[in-house]
């Protein structure tokens, strides 16, 4: 029995990691295939070329990429090759000895986070040589894509941008059977939830699959804890860039690190001493063998009671702060389409202070008693044992003594003393 228990613990991390990798791969496959179910306008000959392109874009979404990605993936390709890879654009137009074609289903994110639709230029052999111009796309500038590091490089990775090609709200042609529609909707909801936490599932799964290898046995304890957290943060940022191009607000992605921590907590890997032996460095062999009450920890705190009324008021926290006011200005065409967008920012130097009102409160010194329990832990592989203390149970009040009156301040208002103009910046 002891041998079977050790064997199970040894491969627990491998099984967990491989399971997370399997779920991630299945999720990516499903998200890339399910929108092919139902009506396929690509083979509908009753539609015109322009209508077919519009329906396809609505069903299968846009191809998002950076300026670097546009150069890497389109320059040097023929018109037909680009059409085969990204769906065909408008017909080639010859004007002033220049062949051009607009690909409205390709969206390029420039270095300022602006979304634009490219018009590509071609030589006499229909090989793409450059982009001719960029037309503004109907999407406002993204703060993350404008200010985040390595955005252009990340959006130049074809494998990453293909994961967010489809429309934000999906596409599915309902059947006449309500049960099939409901079942498919629940399946899609489940896979969407997994798809949003892919940056947590995939890198952490790979890490845990490799954790029990002999090389990791000699790694220091901090190296066991740090990589899952770092991989989760890195994966969350990369995914945030991709989903911001796709159409999601970036601040929703702040939940990803919390999801990574939840995954780690679920498998008890954040506490190193509970997960691997400090002596032989075996993984998953530490077990609890006994628990006993050790002692009660006595803590004293000051608490406030009833408010006795107003004491006095005074000015505090004199300071100088830089503040800014931003205004978005848009230039529209006669048809109402966005031509140009700029953000004008005025900066000011503001002097201010706080007005604080103080009130008298009864003050007590309260004594609490907190039970402390001691656990004896033992490694089933080498026999190494150690003890850990942990607070358990409810903290109980054991005494209270009146120590006088304390004046407690409350912020009443903030007063602006002076405001000085600094400068104005205009950003396209």
Per residue in 89-108, is it b (16+ CB within 10 Å) or e — as a string?
A: beeeeeeeeebbbbbbbbbb
Task: Say whether pLDDT at 44 is over 60.
Answer: no
Spatial CA neighbour of 120 closest among 84, 157, 97, 89: 89
Give the tokens for residue 93: 């137009």
Interior/surface letters 235-250, b for 16+ CB within 10 angstroms, e for the rest: bbbbbbbbbbbbbbeb
For residue 118, the model assigns a pLDDT of: 85
Domain boundaries, the chain: 2-29+175-275, 39-162, 287-427
Phi, psi of 47 (to 5 degrees): -95, 150
Beta bridge partners of 347: 324, 423
Distance CA 217, CA 189 (A): 39
**Is the Cβ–Cβ distance between 237 and 273 less than 8 Å?**
no
Phi and psi, residue 101, nearest 5° = -155, 135
Mind spelling out the 3-state secondary structure of 105-173?
CEEEECCCCCEEEEEEEECCCCEEEEEEEEEECCCCCCHHHHHCCCHHHHCCCHHHHHCCCCCCCCCCC
More confident residue, 236 or 360: 360
Q: Percent helix, strand and coil across the chain, each rounded to 5?
A: 40, 40, 25
In angstroms and rounded to an integer, the radius of gyration of the C-alpha atoms of the chain is 31
What does the angle CA 320 – CA 321 – CA 324 come to, to the nearest 5 degrees?
145
Q: What is the pLDDT of residue 269?
A: 47
Where residue 64 falls among pLDDT bands split at 50, 70, 90?
confident
Cβ–Cβ under 8 Å, residues 10 and 284:
yes
Residue 244 pLDDT level (bands cut at 50, 70, 90): confident
Which percentage of the chain shows pLDDT scores above 90?
A: 21
Q: What is the mean pLDDT of residues 372-378?
A: 92
pLDDT confidence tier of residue 90, bands split at 50, 70 and 90 = low
More confident residue, 381 or 376: 376
The pLDDT of 11-19, averaged and rounded, is: 68
Q: For the residues of 300-357, what is the DSSP string, one character each? A: EEEEEEEEEEEEEEEEEEEEEEEEEEEEEEEEE-TTS-EEEEEEEEEEEEEEEEEEEE
d(C-alpha 224, C-alpha 261), whole Å? 14
Q: Looking at 173-182, 281-290, 416-425, which range is the least confident one? A: 173-182
The DSSP 8-state label assigned to residue 283 in this structure reads B
Check residue 251 and report its DSSP letter: G
Above 70 in pLDDT, residue 325?
yes
Residues 69, 75, 78: CA angle, nearest 5 degrees: 130
- Three-state DSSP at 84 gives helix
| Least confident window among 152-161, 272-281, 282-291, 302-311 | 272-281
Q: What percent of the chain has pLDDT over 70?
A: 67
Q: How far apart are CA 271 and CA 392, in angstroms?
A: 17
Interval 76-88 mean pLDDT: 80
DSSP per position, 21-54: HHHHHHHHHHHHHGGGSS--GGG-TTS-HHHHHH
Q: What digits encode the pLDDT tens for the residues 391-404?
A: 888 889 999 999 99
pLDDT for residue 371 = 93
* Cβ neighbours of residue 2 closer than 8 Å, sequence gap 6 or more: 380
Neighbouring-strand partners of residue 421: 348
- Top mean pLDDT of 7-16, 168-177, 334-343 is at 334-343
For 185-210, how does the pLDDT look when each residue is reduced to its tens digit (9 = 90+)?
A: 777 777 777 777 777 677 777 777 77
pLDDT of residue 83: 79
Name the residue among 81, 80, 136 with its Cα closest to residue 108: 136
13 CB-contact burial (10 Å; exposed 0-12 / middle 13-18 / buried 19+): buried
């Amino acid at each position: 029995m002891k041998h079977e228990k050790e064997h199970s613990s040894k491969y627990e991390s491998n099984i967990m990691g491989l399971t997370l990798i399997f779920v991630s791969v299945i999720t990516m496959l499903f998200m890339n295939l399910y929108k092919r179910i139902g009506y396929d306008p690509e083979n509908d000959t009753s539609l015109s070329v322009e209508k077919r392109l519009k329906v396809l874009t609505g069903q299968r979404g846009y191809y998002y990429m950076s300026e670097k990605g546009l150069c890497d993936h389109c320059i040097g390709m023929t018109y037909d090759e680009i059409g085969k890879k990204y769906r065909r654009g408008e017909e080639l137009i010859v004007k002033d000895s220049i062949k051009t074609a607009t690909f409205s289903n390709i969206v390029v994110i420039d270095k300022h986070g602006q979304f634009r639709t490219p018009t590509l230029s071609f030589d006499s052999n229909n090989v793409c040589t450059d982009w001719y111009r960029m037309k503004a796309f109907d999407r406002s500038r993204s703060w993350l894509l404008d200010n985040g590091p390595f955005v252009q490089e990340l959006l130049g990775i074809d494998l990453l941008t293909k994961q967010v090609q489809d429309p934000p709200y999906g596409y599915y042609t309902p059947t006449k059977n309500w049960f099939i529609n409901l079942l498919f909707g629940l399946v899609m909801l489940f896979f969407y939830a997994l798809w949003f936490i892919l940056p947590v599932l995939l890198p952490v799964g790979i890490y845990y699959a490799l954790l029990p290898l002999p090389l990791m046995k000699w790694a220091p304890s901090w190296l066991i804890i740090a990589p899952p957290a770092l991989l989760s943060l890195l994966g969350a940022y990369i995914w945030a860039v991709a989903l911001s191009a796709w159409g999601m607000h970036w601040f929703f992605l702040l939940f990803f690190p919390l999801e990574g921590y939840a995954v780690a907590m679920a498998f008890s890997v954040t506490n190193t001493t509970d997960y691997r032996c400090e002596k032989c460095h075996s993984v998953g062999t530490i077990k609890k063998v006994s628990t006993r009450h050790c002692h009660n920890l006595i803590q004293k705190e000051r608490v406030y009671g009833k408010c006795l009324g107003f004491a006095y008021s005074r000015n505090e926290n004199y300071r100088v702060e830089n503040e800014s006011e931003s205004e978005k200005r848009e230039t529209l065409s006669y048809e109402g389409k966005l031509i140009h967008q700029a953000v004008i920012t005025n900066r000011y130097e503001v002097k201010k202070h706080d007005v604080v009102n103080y009130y008298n409160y009864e003050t007590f010194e309260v004594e609490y008693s907190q039970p402390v329990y001691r656990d004896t832990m033992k490694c089933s592989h080498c026999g190494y044992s150690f003890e850990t203390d942990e607070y358990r149970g409810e903290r109980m009040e054991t005494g209270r003594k009146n120590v006088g009156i304390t004046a407690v301040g409350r912020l009443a208002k903030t007063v602006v003393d002076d405001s000085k103009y600094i400068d104005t910046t205009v950003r396209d």
